[in-house]
């Protein structure tokens, strides 16, 4: 089948433009994608009269041959624009263009072999047979029928495009495919078949051209993976799976320059207690996934402080982990935490989020953030992590290593979700393989020190153990006194208003008679949840007031005589000690305390603190000074001046005996 081209026969002969050349019939046929016979016909009928083609005798002699000017036809141009090309390859992918070029190379080799066979007196069939055998030797399995089919396609279209490629060109303009794309790219995550059926029903209503399901499936596969994840799974999944991540340069910071913290729930079931089945009376264990709260040094990746609890984490668990970290490794320069309410609480920053917004409009005279926060008093900077992006906290990488190297080794490993839960979990629980919480904590401590901290890490700026990296990059170790640390680790509540019964915390009331002079005023209180028998009271400007004990209750065994003697004793002390420093404390003494003086004083068990681990060598020590240190003497004096408490029913002591006891306390 010959291909004809429209020509302008009325155009006058044109002069040869500079840079154009005369080409042979074979070259013209190759550029135009037609046969040489068709080129000769155009030369005789059209181009000769316009001086665009002429007959020339070769320099070697022989019969004259046609030569054609390059501007005789747009198809003869050495560089063609898309509208000048018979085959448009712009819509093809790189792999499709490579396949098309390979097909064209094989086709031209076959045509040359056929022409050579004709000149040698053979036939096209034999030439094709020999060509197919040669291709098989080269590793290309081409069937003769494929070559003949390619010949028909080439003569018709001027190229060897696959019809499947051509069908993809129309898919982008098909209304039905556009509807399938819209339905499929949604967070409903519809199946491709469901989208095709819904689009087919709409196509019938609208009169659109209906495509097959295979065509729709091939079209959906061409949608980029990034767009598919963003539309079907959401922005968070796109950030985690497709968005490029930024690498941190840890070599620019020193040890203790920046700590980051977070919570993590173990993928392990641990026995945390027991319960009695009311139906059978059988004692059954209680299982839970313990929580880890940890502080990590970002330079060395060392876990400097941690705590494991069976209940959900909160501000108290963060405080306990931070206390351990400071006692063993010093005070950090900057804390890098997330935006959770437990990390961004008033205890750490000195203000709530609502108070910070209000402070933008109302100026306060005293530095409330510094006086009331742990970060402010310890001179710790605070940086918030990127909200809702767990990847922005480096400690998340430690949690992944923790589960891979420690969590999966336990028999009661339960996985992160039901899909990852091992089938053997129920059998392991029935056989009593769940560890006790104390044993689990001890195993974690051993793994952390001997495995994680003792192994060489190959991360950025590491190539050593976390212990070695922490010691090698510690230039200055900031320290704090034990008393100041103990005071700062108490939770700061307030401001609270002093009522007639003192201040209240968690339904308990403190300082009923001690805070009488501060009635209706606002104060701050510091609370140690491990000992709720007392709270320390502070003014808003940071001045210590007293340690207020919990309000007592009148014993049900106290009679009218006990009450009368208690009132008389209180009046007697008010008279003889009035005007003295001790008198102020006796006047404010709780009446209930005097009535219940016979009660036996409850001894408070001293809590043993874990000994800090041996410290690695460091360069220098820089103690941290806080504004609260000036109040430590007042706090200690307030503790020593608290009245004695005796058991109910004991005989009243004489004034001489009481004076001896007070003198002994002062010594």
Q: What is the pLDDT of residue 290?
A: 94
Mean pLDDT of the chain: 78
Query: Within this chain, do residues 395 and 430 fall inside the same structural domain, yes or no?
Result: yes
Least confident among 16-25, 371-380, 446-455, 589-598: 589-598
Query: Within this chain, do residues 320 and 187 fall inside the same structural domain, yes or no?
Result: no
Higher pLDDT, 259 or 345: 259
Q: What is the pLDDT of residue 370?
A: 43
Q: What is the pLDDT of residue 649?
A: 37
Number of domains composing the chain: 4
d(CA 67, CA 53): 6
Query: Within this chain, do residues 319 and 403 fall inside the same structural domain, yes or no?
Result: yes
Least confident among 296-305, 442-451, 543-552: 543-552
Q: What is the pLDDT of residue 555?
A: 65
Provide the 3-class DSSP secondary structure of residue 148.
helix
Is residue 546 pLDDT above 80, yes or no? yes
Query: Within this chain, do residues 179 and 324 fall inside the same structural domain, yes or no?
Result: no
Higher pLDDT, 162 or 216: 216
Q: What is the pLDDT of residue 603?
A: 46
pLDDT digits (tens, 9 = 90+) for 482-510: 888 888 878 778 788 998 888 988 878 88
d(CA 492, CA 529): 11
Domain edge (last residue) among 438, 472, 506: 472
| Mean pLDDT computed over 238-254 | 77
76 lies in which domain range? Answer: 22-84
Please name which of 563, 540, 270, 573 lies closest in space to residue 411, comparing C-alpha atoms: 270
Higher pLDDT, 345 or 117: 117
Q: What is the pLDDT of residue 667?
A: 46
d(CA 562, CA 651): 10
| Mean pLDDT computed over 160-187 | 75
Output the DSSP codes for 315-379.
Answer: HHHHHHHHHHHHHHH-B-SEEEE-S-TTTTSHHHHSS-HHHHHHHTTS--SS-HHHHH-HHHHTT
Which range is most confident: 350-354, 418-422, 525-529?
A: 418-422
Are the beta carbons of 555 and 596 closer than 8 angstroms? yes
Is residue 8 pLDDT above 50, yes or no? no
Residue showing tokens 């990847």: 391
pLDDT digits (tens, 9 = 90+) for 178-228: 999 999 999 999 999 999 999 999 999 999 988 889 889 988 988 888 889
Q: What percentage of the chain reaches a pLDDT higher than 90?
A: 19
Least confident among 40-54, 434-448, 542-556: 542-556
Q: What is the pLDDT of residue 453?
A: 92
Is residue 369 pLDDT above 50, yes or no? no
Query: Within this chain, do residues 438 and 302 fall inside the same structural domain, yes or no?
Result: yes
Query: Within this chain, do residues 134 and 214 fall inside the same structural domain, yes or no?
Result: no
Is residue 602 pLDDT above 50, yes or no? no
Query: Within this chain, do residues 304 and 410 fall inside the same structural domain, yes or no?
Result: yes
What angle (nearest 5°) sits at the alpha carbon of residue 360, between those of residues 357 and 363?
Answer: 125
Is residue 69 pLDDT above 80, yes or no? yes
Q: What is the pLDDT of residue 280?
A: 84
Domain edge (last residue) among 142, 161, 180: 161
Q: What is the pLDDT of residue 10?
A: 40
Is residue 441 pLDDT above 60, yes or no? yes
Are the beta carbons of 85 and 159 closer than 8 angstroms? no
Q: What is the pLDDT of residue 2?
A: 39
Q: How confident is the model at residue 373 (pLDDT cuts 50, 70, 90)?
A: confident
Least confident among 390-394, 473-477, 598-602: 598-602
pLDDT digits (tens, 9 = 90+) for 265-324: 999 999 998 888 888 888 889 999 999 999 999 989 999 999 999 888 888 888 889 989
Is residue 541 pLDDT above 90, yes or no? no
| Mean pLDDT computed over 84-101 | 70
Query: Within this chain, do residues 123 and 42 fall inside the same structural domain, yes or no?
Result: no
Residues 79, 81, 83, 85, CA torsion sign: positive
CATH of the domain at 73: 1.10.10
Q: How confident is the model at residue 73 (pLDDT cuts 50, 70, 90)?
A: confident
Is residue 160 pLDDT above 70, yes or no? yes
Q: How confident is the model at residue 368 (pLDDT cuts 50, 70, 90)?
A: very low
pLDDT digits (tens, 9 = 90+) for 328-348: 999 999 988 877 777 777 677
Q: What is the pLDDT of residue 185?
A: 93
Q: What is the pLDDT of residue 574?
A: 64
Spell out the long-range contacts of 353-359 with Cβ–Cβ below 8 A and sequence spacing 24 or more: none
Position 639 in a domain? no
Position 583 in a domain? no
Q: What percentage of the chain reaches a pLDDT higher than 70?
A: 74
Position 173 in a domain? yes
Position 237 in a domain? yes
Is residue 79 pLDDT above 80, yes or no? no
Q: What is the pLDDT of residue 295?
A: 93
Query: Within this chain, do residues 321 and 272 fall inside the same structural domain, yes or no?
Result: yes
Q: What is the pLDDT of residue 381?
A: 86
The residues near 580 (Cβ < 8 Å, ≥ 6 apart) are: none
51 φ/ψ angles, rounded to the nearest 5 degrees: 60, 30
Output the DSSP codes for 224-239.
Answer: -HHHHHHHHH-HHHHH
Query: Within this chain, do residues 119 and 138 fall inside the same structural domain, yes or no?
Result: yes
d(CA 282, CA 277): 5
Domain edge (last residue) among 161, 190, 209: 161
Q: How confident is the model at residue 61 (pLDDT cuts 50, 70, 90)?
A: confident
Position 210 in a domain? yes
Q: How confident is the model at residue 600 (pLDDT cuts 50, 70, 90)?
A: very low
Is residue 573 pLDDT above 70, yes or no? no
Position 527 in a domain? no
Q: How confident is the model at residue 172 (pLDDT cuts 50, 70, 90)?
A: low
Provide the 3-class DSSP secondary structure of residue 463.
coil
Is residue 513 pLDDT above 60, yes or no? yes
Is residue 164 pLDDT above 90, yes or no? no
Q: What is the pLDDT of residue 385?
A: 73
Is residue 515 pLDDT above 90, yes or no? no
| Mean pLDDT computed over 560-565 | 67
The end-to-end CA distance of the chain, in Å, is 122
Is residue 633 pLDDT above 70, yes or no? yes
Query: Within this chain, do residues 201 and 327 fall inside the same structural domain, yes or no?
Result: no
Residue-wise over 511-536: b if at least 16 C-beta within 10 A, else e? bbbbbeebeeeebbbbbeeeeeebbb
Query: Within this chain, do residues 152 and 296 fall inside the same structural domain, yes or no?
Result: no
Please name which of 384, 398, 396, 386 lies closest in space to residue 301, comparing C-alpha atoms: 398
Query: Which residues lie across from 509 on neighbouring strands?
Result: 504
CATH of the domain at 196: 1.10.10.60
Q: How far is CA 553 from CA 293, 594, 599, 644, in A?
A: 38, 11, 12, 16
Q: What is the pLDDT of residue 282?
A: 86
d(CA 589, CA 317): 35
Please name which of 326, 371, 255 lies closest in space to residue 623, comparing C-alpha atoms: 326
């Amino acid at each position: 089948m010959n291909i004809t081209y429209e020509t302008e026969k009325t155009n006058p002969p044109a002069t040869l433009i500079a840079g154009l050349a005369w080409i042979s019939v074979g070259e013209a046929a190759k550029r135009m994608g037609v046969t040489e016979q068709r080129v000769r016909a155009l030369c005789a009928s059209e181009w000769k009269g316009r001086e665009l083609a002429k007959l020339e005798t070769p320099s070697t002699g022989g019969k004259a041959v046609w030569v054609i000017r390059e501007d005789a036809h747009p198809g003869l141009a050495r560089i063609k624009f898309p509208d000048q090309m018979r085959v448009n390859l712009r819509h093809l992918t790189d792999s499709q263009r490579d396949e098309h070029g390979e097909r064209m190379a094989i086709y031209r080799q076959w045509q040359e072999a056929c022409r050579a066979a004709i000149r040698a007196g053979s036939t096209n069939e034999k030439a094709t047979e020999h060509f197919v055998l040669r291709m098989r030797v080269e590793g290309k399995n081409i069937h003769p029928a494929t070559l003949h089919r390619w010949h028909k396609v080439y003569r018709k279209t001027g190229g060897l495009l696959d019809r499947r490629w051509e069908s993809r060109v129309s898919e982008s303009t098909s209304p039905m495919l556009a509807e399938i794309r819209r339905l499929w790219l949604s967070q409903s995550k519809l199946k491709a078949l469901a989208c095709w059926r819904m689009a087919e029903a709409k196509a019938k209503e609208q009169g659109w051209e209906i495509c097959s399901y295979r065509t729709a499936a091939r079209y959906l596969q061409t949608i980029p993976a990034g767009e598919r994840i963003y539309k079907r799974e959401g922005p968070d999944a796109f950030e985690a799976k497709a968005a490029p991540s930024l690498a941190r340069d840890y070599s620019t910071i020193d040890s203790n320059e920046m700590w980051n913290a977070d919570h993590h729930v173990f993928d392990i079931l641990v026995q945390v207690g027991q319960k009695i089945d009311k139906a059978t009376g059988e004692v059954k264990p209680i299982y839970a996934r313990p929580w880890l709260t940890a502080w990590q040094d970002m330079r060395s990746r060392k876990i400097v402080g941690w705590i494991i609890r069976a209940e959900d984490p909160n501000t108290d668990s963060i405080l306990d982990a931070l206390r351990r970290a400071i006692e063993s490794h010093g005070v950090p320069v900057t804390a890098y935490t997330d935006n959770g309410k437990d990390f961004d609480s008033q205890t750490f920053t000195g203000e709530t989020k609502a108070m910070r917004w209000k402070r933008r409009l109302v100026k306060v005279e005293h530095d409330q953030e510094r006086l009331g926060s742990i970060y402010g008093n310890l001179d710790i900077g605070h940086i918030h992590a990127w909200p809702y992006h767990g990847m922005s906290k480096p400690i998340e990488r430690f949690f992944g290593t923790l589960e891979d190297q420690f969590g999966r080794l336990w028999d009661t490993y339960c996985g992160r979700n039901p899909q990852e839960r091992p089938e053997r979990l129920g059998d392991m629980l029935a056989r009593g393989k769940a560890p006790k919480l104390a044993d689990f904590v001890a195993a974690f401590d051993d793994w952390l020190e001997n495995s994680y901290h003792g192994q060489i890490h190959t991360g950025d700026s590491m190539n050593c153990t976390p212990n070695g990296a922490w010691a090698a990059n510690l230039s200055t170790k900031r320290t704090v006194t034990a008393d100041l640390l103990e005071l700062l680790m108490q939770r700061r509540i307030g401001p609270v208003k002093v009522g007639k019964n003192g201040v209240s915390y968690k339904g308990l009331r403190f300082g009923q008679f001690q805070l009488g002079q501060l009635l209706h005023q606002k104060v701050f209180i510091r609370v140690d949840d491990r000992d709720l028998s007392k709270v320390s009271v502070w003014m808003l400007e940071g001045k210590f007031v007293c340690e207020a004990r919990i309000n007592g209750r009148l014993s049900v065994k106290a009679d009218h005589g006990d009450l009368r003697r208690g009132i008389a004793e209180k009046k007697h002390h008010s008279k003889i000690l009035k005007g003295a420093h001790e008198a102020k404390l006796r006047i404010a003494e709780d009446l209930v305390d005097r009535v219940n003086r016979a009660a036996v004083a409850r001894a408070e068990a001293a809590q043993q603190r874990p000994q800090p681990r041996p410290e690695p060598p460091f360069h220098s020590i820089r103690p941290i000074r806080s504004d609260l240190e000036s109040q430590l003497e007042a706090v200690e004096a307030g503790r020593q001046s608290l009245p004695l408490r005796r058991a109910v029913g004991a005989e009243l002591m004489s004034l001489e005996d009481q004076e001896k006891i007070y003198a002994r306390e002062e010594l």
